[in-house]
Amino acid sequence: MNIEQARFNMVEQQIRPWDVLDQDVLDLLYVVPREEFVPPAHRALAFSDMEIPLGEGERMWTPKIEARVLQELALRKVDRVLEVGTGSGYLTALLAHRAAHVHSVEIRPALAAFGKANLERHGVDNVTLEVGDAARAWPPHAPYDVVVLTGSTPILPQTWLAQLAPGGRLFAVVGDAPVMTAKIVHCSAPGAYRTVGLFETMLAPLANAEQPPRFRF
């Protein structure tokens, strides 16, 4: 496989047509080698329009979602970011290239170790990795300028909104299958929030995500 041709095709045939037009985002996809963050057994699928299995039921986002979310968050070099779900570390690396610092939390120790090894191999040094359950909030380093939930949540806990700094942005996929919506919540001031719907998608839920009250017979 011609790696560079496959990367070019990913950007031009999958990502750009998905309204990702920020040239800085597109350029970054050539800087961070996606193929080196996927499990070795799936290296040939690194540029495919699919979720790549990571083990333990977890999957990498598709390339177009990674790029679209990066664009919509409009990260700045002063931003402090929280990523819930480290996974392979690829999205972590993309965020780290555009932000001041990324705190990334992974609930599964084996995945945390995989992501850590990938990030260290590529010299990403503005990331703090922690193992824990951040499905509903992660107070230790709050407030955050950017929060990214890499799994879906049936409802968005208010605890997350309270951890956004003024000017902060939170990305989440909210809802239950088969209807989930990717959203960005903007915090203009303490207690003042504006939500923008981006696109419909499907993501596996975060482990221990908060559940709404369910009707029971």
Residue-range definition of the domain harbouring residue 138? 3-200
Q: Give the residue-averaged pLDDT of 191-200.
A: 96
Contact residues for 13 (Cβ-Cβ < 8 A; gap 6+): none
Smallest CA-to-CA distance from 30 within 5, 53, 13 is with 5
How do residues 119-170 score in pLDDT, each as one tens digit?
999 999 999 999 999 999 999 999 999 999 999 999 999 999 999 999 999 9
Contact 136, 208 (CB under 8 A): yes
* Amino acid residing at 1: M
Tell whether 173 is covered by a domain: yes
Q: Tokens 């239950």 correspond to what residue? A: 176
Label each residue of 114-138 as H, E or C: HHHHHHHHCCCCCEEEEECCCCCCC
Tell whether 205 is covered by a domain: no
Number of compact structural domains in the chain: 1
How do residues 49-64 score in pLDDT, each as one tens digit?
999 999 888 999 999 9
Tell whether 211 is covered by a domain: no
Contact 169, 192 (CB under 8 A): no
Q: pTM of the entire structure?
A: 0.95
Tell whether 213 is covered by a domain: no
Tell whether 95 is covered by a domain: yes
